[in-house]
């Protein structure tokens, strides 16, 4: 008898397992590995946020909620987004989701028919290409171009790649893993082009607050499509509490939608998760109420982490790395080490250093390595670079 798995959908069968997980498995059983491979801070969620979830549970808020989220949370998100991006974002455009990843899946479910073309700018977090593939899309990619200042978008190539046949353009900026961040003019040009081709823009802006090169890091945000678009433009923006509020494990995110889409997305939420848990949503309300304290502190610290790690890496012979304007990663290449998976596995077993291989994010990032610099203790970053140096034969 053949295995039942032989008859599951090809799109699911073809999904690639996590390359980061492959590398992490090489270090199983070792307690001395300094792990920088996952995309999260090692700092726990602020007390005030945790306490509000505890209070909610104590009060017995253990029931289903509205598909689109608690009205108070949708209002709070709208006010927060208006504060960052201006006045056209009301609660009627907000859908609360179970993390950014669920928001992305809902967006693809809303937009993508089997066989539709989805174009993703890469390297990118693998979910952004796997999720449309699960929906049966034909996923094409357009690669950023690496250079001494980091990875850049070739606008002419983008204009050529996005045609009337392109149903969705997927952009993640600030980008995981490269740190590439879209500029305002690029966004305006992309929006104008997509209006002409009738293409949806799916903008993953979960790292927008983790932006270090703006006028006041921590207070502001990276350029957003929301600053430019009209409410009924074909634009969905995905957000998360994970990164800027230290809430990865809570699974809370949101979408900013054209007003005419909100009802349909509410129906889809019913069939996916029904709603985000109420006590988690209460924590979200509290996080937003304290955002002026929480996020600037988080961002200032991440900036210090970036400004600690990148110069240390730049001083290692054979390392090519540029400071990322946004995100929480240093993405770098090691001369003479073209296979990132192999290098990352060796670094785990031989040096006790846990990094993610570029191959997890795109074939064109083969040989690159991603280092999540969100470390509470800066000494861990120093020690990590020391281990890399020793492994390369450049120190003790």
Residue ranges that bind ligand PLP, judged by CB under 6 A? 39, 99-101, 125, 172, 176, 204, 206, 240, 242, 248, 253
Residue among 190 and 206 whose Cβ is closer to ligand PLP: 206
- The bridge status of strand 356-357 relative to strand 368-372 is antiparallel
User: Using CA atoms, how far apart are residues 193 and 162, in angstroms rounded to an integer?
Assistant: 8
Residue among 70 and 103 whose Cβ is closer to ligand PLP: 103
Give ∠ CA 40-41-47 in degrees, rounded to 5. 120
* Minimum CB–partner distance for residue 126 and ligand PLP (Å): 9
Residue among 248 and 286 whose Cβ is closer to ligand PLP: 248
> CB-based contacts of 104: which residues, under 8 Å, 6+ apart?
127, 128, 131, 202, 204, 238
* Minimum CB–partner distance for residue 170 and ligand PLP (Å): 10
* Minimum CB–partner distance for residue 176 and ligand PLP (Å): 4
User: Using CA atoms, how far apart are residues 323 and 121, in angstroms rounded to an integer?
Assistant: 20
Beta bridge partners of 330: 371
* Minimum CB–partner distance for residue 108 and ligand PLP (Å): 13
User: Using CA atoms, how far apart are residues 9 and 293, in angstroms rounded to an integer?
Assistant: 47
Residue among 116 and 204 whose Cβ is closer to ligand PLP: 204
User: Using CA atoms, how far apart are residues 68 and 265, in angstroms rounded to an integer?
Assistant: 8
Residue among 112 and 237 whose Cβ is closer to ligand PLP: 237
Residue among 116 and 205 whose Cβ is closer to ligand PLP: 205
Both structure tokens of 96? 């609360």
Residue among 39 and 218 whose Cβ is closer to ligand PLP: 39
Residue 327's φ and ψ, nearest 5 degrees, are 85, -165
Residue among 166 and 242 whose Cβ is closer to ligand PLP: 242
Both structure tokens of 258? 């054209």
Residue among 243 and 345 whose Cβ is closer to ligand PLP: 243
Residue among 117 and 204 whose Cβ is closer to ligand PLP: 204
Both structure tokens of 203? 């903008």
Dihedral sign for Cα 312, 314, 316, 319, please.
positive
Which among 83, 179, 48 is positioned nearest to 125, based on CA atoms?
179
Both structure tokens of 76? 């709070």
User: Using CA atoms, how far apart are residues 367 and 353, in angstroms rounded to an integer?
Assistant: 16
Preceding peptide of 341 cis, ω within 30°: no
* Contact by Cβ (8 Å): 141, 119: yes
DSSP letters spanning 203-246: EE-TTTT-B-SSSSTTTS----GGGT--TTSSEEEEEESTTTTT
* Minimum CB–partner distance for residue 361 and ligand PLP (Å): 10
* Minimum CB–partner distance for residue 372 and ligand PLP (Å): 9
Both structure tokens of 251? 């699974």
How many angstroms from the chain centroid is the CA of residue 129? 12
* Minimum CB–partner distance for residue 278 and ligand PLP (Å): 18
* Minimum CB–partner distance for residue 240 and ligand PLP (Å): 3
* Minimum CB–partner distance for residue 205 and ligand PLP (Å): 9
* Minimum CB–partner distance for residue 48 and ligand PLP (Å): 20
């Amino acid at each position: 008898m053949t295995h039942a798995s032989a008859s599951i959908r090809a799109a699911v069968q073809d999904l690639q397992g996590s390359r980061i997980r492959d590398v992490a498995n090489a270090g199983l059983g070792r307690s001395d590995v300094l792990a920088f491979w996952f995309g999260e801070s090692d700092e726990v969620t602020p007390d005030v946020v945790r306490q509000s979830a505890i209070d909610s549970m104590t009060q017995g808020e253990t029931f289903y909620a509205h598909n689109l989220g608690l009205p108070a949370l949708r209002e709070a998100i709208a006010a927060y987004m208006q504060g960052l991006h201006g006045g056209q974002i009301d609660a009627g455009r907000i859908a609360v989701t179970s993390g950014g990843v669920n928001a992305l899946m809902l967006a693809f479910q809303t937009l993508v028919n089997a066989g539709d073309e989805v174009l993703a700018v890469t390297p990118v977090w693998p979910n952004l290409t796997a999720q449309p593939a699960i929906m049966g899309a034909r996923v094409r990619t357009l690669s950023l171009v690496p250079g001494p200042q980091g990875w850049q978008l070739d606008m002419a190539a983008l204009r050529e790649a996005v045609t009337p046949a392109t149903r969705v353009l997927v952009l993640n900026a600030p980008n995981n893993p490269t740190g590439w961040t879209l500029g305002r003019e690029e966004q305006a040009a992309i929006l104008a082009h997509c209006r002409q081709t009738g293409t949806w823009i799916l903008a993953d802006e979960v790292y927008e607050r983790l932006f270090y090169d703006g006028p006041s890091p921590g207070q502001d945000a990276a350029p957003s499509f929301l600053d430019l678009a009209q409410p009924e433009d074909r634009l969905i923006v995905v957000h998360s509490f994970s990164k800027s509020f230290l809430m990865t494990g809570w699974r809370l995110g949101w979408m900013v939608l054209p007003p005419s889409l909100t009802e349909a997305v509410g129906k889809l939420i019913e069939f996916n998760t029904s709603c985000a848990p109420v006590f988690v949503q209460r924590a979200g309300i509290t996080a937003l109420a304290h955002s002026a304290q929480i996020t600037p502190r988080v961002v200032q610290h991440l900036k210090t982490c970036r400004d600690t790690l990148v110069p240390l890496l730049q001083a290692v012979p054979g390392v090519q790395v540029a400071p990322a304007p946004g995100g929480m990663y240093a993405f770098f290449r090691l001369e003479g080490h073209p296979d990132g998976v192999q290098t990352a596995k060796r670094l785990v077993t031989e040096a006790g250093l846990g990094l993610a291989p570029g191959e997890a994010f795109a074939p064109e990032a083969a040989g690159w390595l991603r280092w999540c610099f969100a470390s509470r203790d800066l000494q861990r970053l120093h020690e990590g670079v020391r281990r890399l140096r020793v492994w390369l034969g450049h120190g003790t």
